[in-house]
Structure 1
């Protein structure tokens, strides 16, 4: 879990790597298997960035990918399967330079 949390922290920070001039809300769509790790990361992030809000939507990667395809607003997508990241990427629904694979 520690290793997963470190990876998740890096992922969240990478996803939030832009500068916040004021308070901001970031929407993260994430695989249900990432719930515990990402909620802990969000707590740690909130301590350091109290003006910024991280809002999660947890479900299966396929469900989330299809919601994004239908126009659901997500700033960060954390998929349990490379298949669904590729699915969105092939439909030009991602920012290619921000795609990261942490495990295969």
Structure 2
């Protein structure tokens, strides 16, 4: 599905996972990972973090129990401030100790400054 983007501070070009955020602004980032499928059994939780320019965003860690092979979901909300200068790269990163077979992710990002 093509992204729906209104404005000039936020860009994303499929199939790249990179979301570009203009420098020197704050953004409300709301995201949901749904229809996660994994290979069972797994003893560890499904885990994600957000990164900005390759660095983990503090307090962005979320997890979900691997209680089913399909249909698992998790979500998070953050305020992200980009440094002044060139665009910053926002990514959702799987930090689980196992691969995720399938994943649908939705981001809603609003520039607030």
State the TM-score, normalized to the length of structure 1: 0.29
Q: Which structure carries more strand by proportion?
A: 2
State the TM-score, normalized to the length of structure 2: 0.28
**Computing the radius of gyration over CA atoms, which structure comes out larger, 1 or 2?**
2
**Relative contact order (C-alpha < 8 Å, sep 6+): which is higher?**
2
